[in-house]
């Protein structure tokens, strides 16, 4: 996808200030203000002011659409919880746990986040845009009947199910870069070859949601269309790039999607407080460049990312890559200029290189090679790829 194509067809940045103000509470790691920080950083780096870019204000998803994936009883309990009601059966649905607390307005907020993803996808497929990014979306853990992993309504699944209903011949690639396995998206498409699901994540042996092993490859018609790449703690840019080049890019090329939905969780970074991968945003950028190259249309979504400042840097870079524009710090060199995050990194969006060493590195590479060999043996033949 080239810049000229964006210029012709346009791009969408899904954002509203009110959405960024929603608060999960001081002790909860999920901070919607990351979207605001991303918007501010994109503005500061001059990557939001090109004429083909549009800010799309998310409207609430029609509740009927939420029913495409979620159980009516769950949605009703979520709505009641959002209004301040407390019922015993809420807890069985994940509502009121530490990860997915009951918050006033959470139902409406989640519907609006999902509405942003849905509208962006609709416009992409209606040729009103070529690329879009919703930093308020990417809730890949939400299940049909319960909330988990900071996710209440699965914006990704709802949007994909709706477009497949209207355009059943579409090929959609779903690429999940979040450090956590995209379990809530894997499940509904496990038998569906129209959706190529590829998730790169920290192994389920050490991280929630404890799933996403390489042996999970889909079933029936969907066999080979679910691809999981579990990674060891300590996985660095070098190991990650090896996996991207060996598995992700060949599969995308062979599948030739009409649309790629990319969950761009930034909790893979070395500084993330919740995970154990050790990436810098250099590998993250390279991966996004690769998938953009293989996809005629891309819908990028937020997701995890609990180092707020570095997450917003990642997403500023992601937006720049999606649009093929170069971020330039218009304030660089100004004494007493606006400070943004740790002082030593002011003036650059790019992380310093980092590579793991010793046993940690050896083990990460060894496991990655084993997983890649498994996928090349079991999955590649289904796609007619010779490894």
Catalytic residues: 141
Give the range of 175-183, 190-198, 282-290, 361-369 binding Zn ion by CB under 5 A. 175-183
Distance CA 277, CA 164 (A): 34
Angle (deg, nearest 10), helices 308-323 and 33-44: 50
Told to check if 307 binds Zn ion by CB under 5 A, we report: no
DSSP annotation of 84 reads T
Our finding on whether 178 is near Zn ion (CB under 5 A) is: yes
Least distance from Zn ion to the Cβ atom of residue 265, Å: 5
Nearest to 99 by CA among 147, 35, 140, 33: 147
Q: Which of 34, 180, 194, 313 binds Zn ion (CB under 5 A)?
A: 180
- Which residue's CB is nearer to Zn ion, number 119 or number 178? 178
Cβ 253 to Zn ion, closest distance in Å?
26
140 lies in the site for Zn ion, by CB under 5 A: no
**Which residue, 291, 290, 271, 273, is CA-closest to 281?**
271
Token digits of residue 247: 């598995």
- Contact between 265 and Zn ion by CB under 5 A: the answer reads yes
- DSSP codes joined into one string, 156-225: HHHHHHHHHHH-TT--EEEEE-SSS--HHHHGGGTT-TTEEEEEEEE-TTTSTT----TT----GGGTTS
Least distance in Å: CB of 201 to Zn ion?
A: 8
Distance of alpha carbon 115 from alpha carbon 88, whole angstroms: 29
Of 45-53, 215-223, 278-286, 299-307, the window that binds Zn ion (rule: CB under 5 A) is 299-307
Residues in the chain: 387
User: Using the rule CB under 5 A, is 209 a contact of Zn ion?
Assistant: no
Q: Which of 218, 234, 304, 327 binds Zn ion (CB under 5 A)?
A: 304
Task: Name which position in 236, 267, 272, 307 contacts Zn ion (CB under 5 A).
Answer: 267
Number of residues that bind Zn ion (CB under 5 A): 6
SS3 of 229, please?
strand
For residue 176, state whether it binds Zn ion (rule: CB under 5 A): no
Nearer to Zn ion, 198 or 294 (CB): 198
The residue sitting closest to Zn ion, measured at its beta carbon, is 304
Which stretches of the chain bind Zn ion, using CB under 5 A? 178-180, 265, 267, 304
């Amino acid at each position: 996808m080239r810049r000229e194509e964006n210029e012709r067809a346009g791009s969408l940045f899904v954002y509203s200030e009110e959405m960024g103000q929603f608060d999960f509470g001081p002790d909860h790691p999920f901070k919607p203000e990351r979207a605001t920080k991303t918007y501010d950083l994109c503005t500061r780096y001059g990557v939001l002011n090109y004429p083909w870019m549009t800010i799309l204000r998310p409207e609430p998803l029609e509740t009927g659409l939420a029913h495409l994936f979620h159980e009516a009883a769950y949605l009703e309990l979520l709505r009641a919880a959002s209004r301040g009601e407390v019922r015993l059966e809420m807890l069985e649905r994940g509502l009121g746990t530490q990860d997915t607390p009951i918050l006033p307005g959470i139902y409406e907020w989640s519907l609006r986040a999902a509405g942003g993803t849905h509208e962006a996808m609709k416009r992409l497929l209606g040729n009103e845009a070529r690329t879009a990014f919703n930093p308020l979306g990417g809730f890949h853990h939400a299940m049909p009947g319960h909330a988990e992993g900071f996710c209440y309504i699965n914006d990704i699944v709802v949007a994909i199910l709706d477009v497949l209903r209207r355009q059943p011949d579409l090929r959609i690639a779903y690429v999940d870069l979040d450090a956590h396995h995209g379990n809530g998206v894997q499940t509904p498409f496990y038998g569906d070859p129209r959706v190529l699901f590829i998730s790169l994540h920290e192994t389920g042996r050490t991280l929630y949601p404890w799933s996403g092993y390489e042996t999970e490859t889909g079933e029936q018609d969907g066999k080979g269309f679910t691809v999981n790449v579990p990674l060891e703690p300590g996985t660095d840019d070098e190991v990650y790039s090896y996996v991207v080049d060996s598995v992700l890019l060949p599969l995308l090329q062979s599948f030739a999607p009409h649309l790629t939905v990319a969950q761009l969780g930034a909790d893979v970074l070395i500084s993330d407080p919740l995970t154990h991968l050790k990436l810098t945003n250099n590998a993250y950028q390279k991966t996004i460049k690769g998938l953009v190259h293989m996809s005629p249309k891309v819908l990028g979504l937020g997701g995890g990312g609990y180092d707020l400042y570095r997450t917003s840097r990642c997403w500023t870079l992601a937006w720049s890559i999606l649009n093929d524009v170069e971020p330039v710090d218009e304030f660089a060199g100004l004494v007493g200029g606006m400070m943004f995050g740790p002082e030593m990194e002011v003036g650059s969006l790019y992380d310093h290189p980092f590579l793991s060493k010793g046993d940690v590195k050896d083990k990460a590479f060894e496991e990655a090679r084993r997983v890649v060999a498994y996928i090349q043996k079991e999955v590649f033949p289904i796609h007619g790829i010779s490894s």
